[in-house]
Structure 1
């Protein structure tokens, strides 16, 4: 028996560690090597990484910092992602435990009496190893690697949710601030048009203005009232959306900004000179770990074609007298026995499982490449917007200034009786439209900074 045990243990030591899984190789990049096609004038300053910028440094407004902090503490999606990580970690520990033998302790007592009145008492106590698979071909280890990479993939998914949540909460707050600023502008416009209507009404009563002028002034007044009601509703909808993102009952304690501040969000985010910075994005790492898991699953499927060897063992005591259970040297015994299972016929199930595992790996490769392409597009879009939004916002500012001057001139010419009231209305509408567009462009410019920070993988560091 000792010789058998020695041979078995020697075989385990010589053959353990064999793996049939394919060697992992990261797929070749399917995107451009750099951002030269969408970013002009890249310099050495761009060699920094957005992911190294803490979100508290990126969001320079205390109000935005509080919004992000509240979202990270209460958002339900993030909590679900964190629980999924804990779950997959536990599943990995389950698979990992199969690499070690399971030891159980048991004790029993039995009392028997035959028809002749003779009685027999038997007591047993000991340790047992029910069935320990010797992982000769790496089946158990590969399944453990599948669980490990699934866990790591889920952890990267949590990080991706975190980054998205930070950007989502910031953009929701910027949208609310933008609509609140537009609502204030609408109220000011409503008051201005009310005063204009009263002025035209007095002129009409004095026989200076026409009835058409009065009707046009009324149309302008009611249009301003409609805009005020519209943005009142939009502000409330923005608040409702922000409450859901923050995971709170209401916005109590969240400071409301009166207008968009350019300094609220860091400008000049470094994007790096090479597109390889995308390889550290959580969603791409998630896809890569899924690809590794698929490769390990192939190893497990291949191992199913080979024999499985298991060991069972026991060590314990047995006695007819409970008091002598552990004291008698003759009461102790141990046993060790190997067993082997060889696949002979299973209707092609193992071949089908191996084929399915290989197809899963091909799907994982395609998903990895697609994720990389989407990531590159997101960064390219954000860079393209950054190149134009600044110039567009500057031009819009000049348009607002020109519209204000045109409105002031038209109103002066009307009050002096030089021009018709229609020119005042046109100038008034143009001014309001240019001002609302300017506010929205300011929001877009800030939101683009947030988007670029997100798509470059920033936000994991507080």
Structure 2
């Protein structure tokens, strides 16, 4: 059995340890981001992110879609496989600081040349012992071998801790993916309801414009208007009828977007039309900005990534230090199988220890160490950026909800006045006190404003979804 010999000269060990002690001094970057005390609102600690998504969205059809997506969404399932790989990485790192033990057996034959050193030794033995040396000489062996890198500087244990931290970060990454998935489905669902409402508005206006066209045709017969007025009303009606097919196409596309998120092939999406009239609360309970650090999975993920990067710096730094390796073996070895298990004659064992320190290839180790240090600084900046982004998202959505509430109030009033104007313009047109162009423009303005009202309403609903996501809701 081959046994690894220890270093023969203590001076070599001391020189290697002296060289390895010259480790470059690099400083890690600590986070410097301080979060404001509140969101420019009250300082109530009540936070809507603590509400489970099944209770936050009270639409049974929407809840069913989200529940199905959490089971079948391909992106989420792909990420789950990545998590399993990171989990296996933890086991790999754990195994590196434990002894490696192998069991093996071998057999061989050897016939040295007569004029070689081994041949000369055999011939001298034959002369001295008076018996022939076996030719060829067998070599049979069975035993166990162990090798172990003693984790003196805790490099291997730190690497395992880093892998574990990254696995925990992946769990937070999954939670953040769930938060976004819940938000995307809810936003698409409300967009679908808005398109349904717009389609109903178009169909209603088709009826209004058809009636107006009939009035114009009667007016033409009585020579009150010309053929031009008839053609303009017919053109307006054709444009409105065309609009309903554009909306129908958008409905199909949004339905298929939801189906894709749910992880199934295209099919009609069941929905509750009355959910579009959902009232948005006058005030949003956003809690305190400091709660984002606990509620936002992406912030916790960035924090864990930062912790892992700091551990990686320690691992990279430990590469400068000497490594202590221990190798051992125990087994049986004989030139004839019948003597293989003779104890203690055929018993063999050996133990050896090596201290190895980098001496020549230190530039590569320095570069690896510097890169680890730069990645730590990058992770610190990314952590600060994630906190800043989270705060900005919440602040934007709080302002958005407040502004949309006022916009919807005035837009609703505008729609009411224009609907009243349609009746007035029609009556004036019948009595020849208004031009047909006034009727056309009033109908076009009313249709456009009703569309804008629907868009404002869906923006309200989507802002209500976005503030829930921005505060860290949806993954619990």
Other structure's SS at 2:143 match: strand
Tell me the equivalent position of 1:308.
Answer: 323
Superposition pairs of residues 3-402 of structure 1, within 5 angstroms = 27-36=31-40, 39=41, 42=42, 44=44, 47-110=45-108, 118=135, 122-129=139-146, 131-252=147-268, 254-258=269-273, 260-263=275-278, 269-319=284-334, 325-326=340-341, 328-346=343-361, 348-402=363-417
Task: Give the Cα separation in 1 of the matches to 2:341 and 2:56.
Answer: 70
C-alpha contact (below 8 Å) 1:267/1:449 kept by paired residues: no
Other structure's SS at 2:304 match: helix
Offset of residue 185 of structure 1: 1.2
Per the normalisation by structure 1, the TM-score is 0.86
Q: Residues 204 and 260 (structure 1 numbering): CA distance in 2 closer, same or farther, change over 3 Å?
A: farther
Offset of residue 191 of structure 1: 2.5
C-alpha contact (below 8 Å) 2:30/2:380 kept by paired residues: no
Task: Give the Cα separation in 1 of the matches to 2:31 and 2:37.
Answer: 14
C-alpha contact (below 8 Å) 2:144/2:329 kept by paired residues: yes
Task: Give the Cα separation in 1 of the matches to 2:279 and 2:94.
Answer: 48
C-alpha contact (below 8 Å) 1:153/1:290 kept by paired residues: yes
Task: Give the Cα separation in 2 of the matches to 1:135 and 1:43.
Answer: 50
Other structure's SS at 2:419 match: helix
Task: Give the Cα separation in 1 of the matches to 2:109 and 2:403.
Answer: 91
Task: Give the Cα separation in 2 of the matches to 1:418 and 1:262.
Answer: 38
Q: Residues 428 and 133 (structure 1 numbering): CA distance in 2 closer, same or farther, change over 3 Å?
A: same
Other structure's SS at 2:326 match: strand
Tell me the equivalent position of 1:12.
Answer: none
Deviations 1:63-112 (A, max 9, x none): 11122122222222111211111111112211121121111222334466
Task: Give the Cα separation in 1 of the matches to 2:345 and 2:401.
Answer: 86
Deviations 1:183-214 (A, max 9, x none): 12112212221221122112212223333432
Q: Residues 287 and 32 (structure 1 numbering): CA distance in 2 closer, same or farther, change over 3 Å?
A: same
Offset of residue 120 of structure 1: 5.3
Task: Give the Cα separation in 1 of the matches to 2:229 and 2:249.
Answer: 31
Task: Give the Cα separation in 1 of the matches to 2:29 and 2:344.
Answer: 58
Tell me the equivalent position of 1:8.
Answer: none
Tell me the equivalent position of 2:454.
Answer: 439
Which ranges in structure 2 are unaligned for 5 or more consecutive residues? 1-5, 7-22, 114-131
Per the normalisation by structure 2, the TM-score is 0.83
Offset of residue 329 of structure 1: 4.2
Tell me the equivalent position of 1:412.
Answer: 427
Q: Residues 107 and 381 (structure 1 numbering): CA distance in 2 closer, same or farther, change over 3 Å?
A: same
Other structure's SS at 2:100 match: coil
Task: Give the Cα separation in 2 of the matches to 1:133 and 1:366.
Answer: 35
Q: Residues 56 and 331 (structure 1 numbering): CA distance in 2 closer, same or farther, change over 3 Å?
A: same
Deviations 1:11-51 (A, max 9, x none): xxxxxxxxx99999962334423211xx3xx253xx13333
C-alpha contact (below 8 Å) 1:59/1:264 kept by paired residues: no
C-alpha contact (below 8 Å) 1:22/1:295 kept by paired residues: no
C-alpha contact (below 8 Å) 2:150/2:324 kept by paired residues: yes
The structure with the largest alpha-carbon Rg is 2
Q: Residues 226 and 202 (structure 1 numbering): CA distance in 2 closer, same or farther, change over 3 Å?
A: same
Q: Residues 51 and 96 (structure 1 numbering): CA distance in 2 closer, same or farther, change over 3 Å?
A: farther
Offset of residue 354 of structure 1: 2.0
Q: Residues 51 and 284 (structure 1 numbering): CA distance in 2 closer, same or farther, change over 3 Å?
A: same
How many residue pairs align between the two structures? 435
Task: Give the Cα separation in 2 of the matches to 1:282 and 1:28.
Answer: 20
